[in-house]
Structure 1
Amino acid sequence: MKRLEAQTRMISTANRIIFAVMGLILGLAVVATALPQQRRLKNLEYKLARTLEAEERVLAEKEYHEIEYRALKDDPEFLELKATDRLNLHQDGGKVYRFKRLPD
């Protein structure tokens, strides 16, 4: 009877050890599969941040051009100012001031 109890304890202990090792292996497998996903997530978050910054720049530029377009369309003084600047013209009796930049 003692021999049978000893075998039962050994089998029970072996089962616990095997169960613990399997649990450890399963835990390591979960961690090992999560690490590449974590790296990929960080990479995608970085790309998203860059894309959102680019979108903000484009939207700001679009807004600037829309404002300039409305001003050219509706404001004759702004239109005259832009035409004078781009075409390098001036009105009779008007003064033109030119500034030269000094080399750095």
Structure 2
Amino acid sequence: MKRLEAQTRVISTANRIIFAVMGLILGLAVVATALPQQRRLKDLEYKLSQTLEAEKRVVAEKDYRENEYRALKDDPAFLELKATDRLNLHRPGGKVYRFKRTQD
């Protein structure tokens, strides 16, 4: 009878150890599969932030161009200013000031 109880305790202890090892292996497998996904998530988040910054720059440029277009269309003074600047012309009797930029 004591021998049977001893065998039962040994088997029960072995079962607990095997269960703990299997749980540990399963936990490590879950962690091992999650690490590459975490790295990929960080890469995708970085790419998303870069894309959002580029989008902000494009939207700002678009807004600037729209404002300039409206000013050219509706404001004769702005149109004249742009035309004289681009064509390097001036009105008779007008003064033109030129500034030279220094190279850094």
Provide TM-score, normalisation by structure 2.
0.98
* Cα distance per residue 1:58-80 (max 9 Å; x no partner): 00000000000000000000000
Determine whether 1:99 maps to 2:99: yes
Q: Aligned-residue CA RMSD in angstroms?
A: 0.7
More off after superposition, 35-44 vs 94-103: 94-103
What does 1:23-62 align with in structure 2 at a 5 Å threshold? 23-62=23-62
Identity across matched positions, percent: 87
In the TM superposition, what is the alpha-carbon distance from 1:100 to its structure 2 partner? 1.3
* Cα distance per residue 1:77-101 (max 9 Å; x no partner): 0000000000000001111011112
Q: 2:21, 2:59 → 1: CA distance? A: 56
Unaligned runs of 5+ in 2: none
Match of 2:19 in 1: 19
Q: 2:102, 2:54 → 1: CA distance? A: 33
* Cα distance per residue 1:20-76 (max 9 Å; x no partner): 000000000000000000000000000000000000000000000000000000000
Provide TM-score, normalisation by structure 1.
0.98
How many residues are aligned here?
104
Unaligned runs of 5+ in 1: none
In the TM superposition, what is the alpha-carbon distance from 1:102 to its structure 2 partner? 2.7
Match of 2:68 in 1: 68
Q: Secondary structure at the match of 2:92?
A: coil
Q: Secondary structure at the match of 2:64?
A: helix
